Chains A and B, each alone.
Chain A
Amino acid sequence: MIAVENVSHRFETSGRQSHLALDDITLEITDGAFVSILGPSGCGKSTLLYIIGGFVKPTGGVARVQGRAITGPGPDRGPVFQEFALFPWKTVLGNVMYGPRQQRIPRAEAEVQVRRLIDMVGLKGYENFYPKELSGGMKQRVAIARTLAYNPSVLLMDEPFGALDAHTRTRLQNDLLNIWERDRKTVLFVTHAVDEAVFLSDKVIVMTRSPGRIKTIIDIDLPRPRKRAELLLDARYQNYVVAIERLIDDTGIDEAAR
């Protein structure tokens, strides 16, 4: 279980001012849950993810995994960053192999798994390409494969499908759901797309404009396994999407009215 308890984060910015990015966030994510975070740009979604990843120490409150306070990153929590962050000096294969090799899995064994993953994200044949030779969407898929390769039990995904075309995005959403249904990983998924959040998640967290607070948490009560074609026609799905979109609109109006 991931528990975020009264977490706040204040950035020291230039000119000796400070900026409150997160304000008193409290939430619990049960093991195996698929949770999405929605909110306006700059509301602190990435920051919250970094705190759970152990990359950033919150200036207030505490975040825990399995009851223990998070003190740093670990291979139990795998991030997929908004900016891909691939190693430019390694090929696609080298990038995806990095995690398993760090876990001291023998090269031959790791390579079999890694090639299967690369195939899954649709990059078979690109194993020996360098990141600079890939398109934005392809890089994003390598980044996802690289994180999946060391088999973290929690996935922290920051707009992982943001750079993808609609077609690949749909395919990878299905693939992600398949992996999740098979391995029951905990997934924390930041996105701007409301339909994507509803389609994938058990829970959708809506955040307010900066300073980021939790506005509402909505349980998505739709049957699994989810089939896209069926869901799109389902009135409950449509209602969720419309309701959440309205909530996010409100968040903007709130701010303007103040």
Chain B
Amino acid sequence: MARRHFPDMLLGLAPILMLIALWQVIVWSGTAPVALLPSPFSVFARFSAQLLRPEFHHEIAATLMRLFAGFAIAVVLGVSIGLAAAVKPVVDAVVKPLVRILAPVPKVALYPALLLTLGFDHASKISLVAADALFPILLATYYGASMVEQKLIWSAMAAGTPRAQIIWKIVLPASLPSILTGCRIGLVISSIVVFLAEMITSTDGLGHMLVQAARTFQTVDMFVPLITISLLGLILNAALHLLRRYLLKGFAEI
């Protein structure tokens, strides 16, 4: 398997390298002033220099803390509401119309309201992240749980599983592939939203770094947080992929 993917990987690196090369050529050709477009080398040099500075670690930690807190809330709420709605018609009757209304609402628009009610500290940002990541996870859980094969549930009931435990012992594991797909989307959304919230109002975090650099026209410093969030996204996605592979060993396609 790994061997077959190798040429694919090279092919995939090509456009990224080409883009960086093009960037460098534009800088060399002098069509764009360095103040507007710094060279990729200076950006990567600044990025590596930043990696050694504790202040930068602090910014990353602040961003990650909000990201994980919001994402975790979204997972807990999304999975439990999704499961409850899928198995209990009463819950479904209440949740379905609410989701219909709330899912297409642009959650960023709620941010001012969150700021006004929860203050300018962590709570408002974490709530925004949670609100945005919630719906994809909830919907994926709901669909996964409503698709669970009836005979799996029957088999468990016949083996003596009490009704109340069916949801944990059967419905949850059976809908895990779908739930994890929802989590993957939710995680990307979380990383995007936390950055945006920090850009709009914040005193620390990667988003704040970007805004700070933009205010002082430090173009090199503007690229650093962007690269960082992209890398963080890749790393988190890869971690989730590993978790998925581990949890879904028994399921057909991953």
Interface residues, chain A, with chain B CB atoms under 8 Å away: 50, 53, 55, 72-75, 77-79, 81, 83, 85, 87-91, 98-99, 102-103, 130-132, 146-147, 150, 152
Q: How many positions in chain B have a CB within 8 Å of any CB in the partner chain?
A: 20
Asked if A102 and B160 make an inter-chain contact with CB atoms under 8 angstroms apart, the answer reads yes
- How many Å from the CB of B168 to the closest CB on chain A? 13
Q: Which residues does chain A contribute within 8 Å of B160, judged by CB atoms?
A: 74-75, 99, 102-103, 150
Residue of B157, B170, B174, B252 near A73 (CB, 8 A) is B157
Residue of A72, A102, A132 near B252 (CB, 8 A) is A132
Q: How far is the CA of A199 from the CA of B156 in the complex (A)?
A: 31
Interface window among B20-28, B38-46, B133-141, B147-155: B147-155
Interface of A is mostly: loop
Residue of B154, B174, B248 near A55 (CB, 8 A) is B154
**Known contacts A87-B174, A88-B174, then 13 further A-B pairs from the complex at CB < 8 Å, ordered by chain A residue:** A85-B149, A85-B151, A88-B250, A88-B252, A89-B173, A89-B250, A89-B251, A91-B250, A99-B160, A102-B160, A131-B250, A132-B250, A150-B160
Whether B88 is near chain A, meaning CB under 8 Å from some CB there, is no
Asked if A89 and B174 make an inter-chain contact with CB atoms under 8 angstroms apart, the answer reads yes
Residue of A nearest to B249 (CB): A130
Residue of B158, B170, B250, B251 near A53 (CB, 8 A) is B158
Asked if A73 and B250 make an inter-chain contact with CB atoms under 8 angstroms apart, the answer reads no
Q: How far is the CA of A152 from the CA of B248 in the complex (A)?
A: 31
Q: Which residues does chain A contribute within 8 Å of B156, judged by CB atoms?
A: 87, 98, 102
- How many Å from the CB of A77 to the closest CB on chain B? 7
Q: Which residues does chain A contribute within 8 Å of B149, judged by CB atoms?
A: 83, 85
Q: Which residues does chain A contribute within 8 Å of B158, judged by CB atoms?
A: 53, 55, 73-75, 77-79, 147, 152
Q: How far is the CA of A146 from the CA of B157 in the complex (A)?
A: 13
Interface centre among B154, B157, B159, B250 (most CB of A within 10 A): B159
Asked if B155 and A81 make an inter-chain contact with CB atoms under 8 angstroms apart, the answer reads yes
Q: List 30 A-B contacts (CB under 8 A).
A: A55-B157, A55-B158, A73-B158, A74-B158, A74-B160, A75-B158, A78-B158, A79-B154, A79-B155, A83-B149, A83-B151, A85-B151, A85-B155, A87-B155, A87-B170, A87-B173, A87-B174, A88-B251, A89-B249, A90-B250, A98-B159, A102-B156, A102-B160, A102-B161, A103-B160, A130-B249, A132-B250, A132-B252, A146-B155, A152-B158
Residue of A83, A132, A147 near B251 (CB, 8 A) is A132
Q: How far is the CA of A102 from the CA of B170 in the complex (A)?
A: 13
Interface residues, chain B, with chain A CB atoms under 8 Å away: 149, 151-152, 154-161, 170, 173-174, 176, 248-252
Q: Which residues does chain A contribute within 8 Å of B159, judged by CB atoms?
A: 75, 78, 98-99, 102, 146, 150
Q: How far is the CA of A87 from the CA of B161 in the complex (A)?
A: 14
Residue of B nearest to A104 (CB): B160
Q: Which residues does chain A contribute within 8 Å of B170, judged by CB atoms?
A: 87
Residue of A nearest to B154 (CB): A55
- How many Å from the CB of A132 to the closest CB on chain B? 5
Q: Which residues does chain A contribute within 8 Å of B155, judged by CB atoms?
A: 79, 81, 85, 87, 146
Residue of A77, A87, A91, A147 near B152 (CB, 8 A) is A87
Q: Which residues does chain B contribute within 8 Å of A146, judged by CB atoms?
A: 155, 159
Residue of A nearest to B163 (CB): A72
Q: Which residues does chain B contribute within 8 Å of A98, judged by CB atoms?
A: 156, 159
Q: How far is the CA of A78 from the CA of B159 in the complex (A)?
A: 7
Q: Which residues does chain B contribute within 8 Å of A87, judged by CB atoms?
A: 152, 155-156, 170, 173-174, 250
- How many Å from the CB of A188 to the closest CB on chain B? 13
Residue of B nearest to A98 (CB): B159
Q: How far is the CA of A229 from the CA of B141 in the complex (A)?
A: 54
Residue of B nearest to A91 (CB): B250
Residue of A nearest to B172 (CB): A89
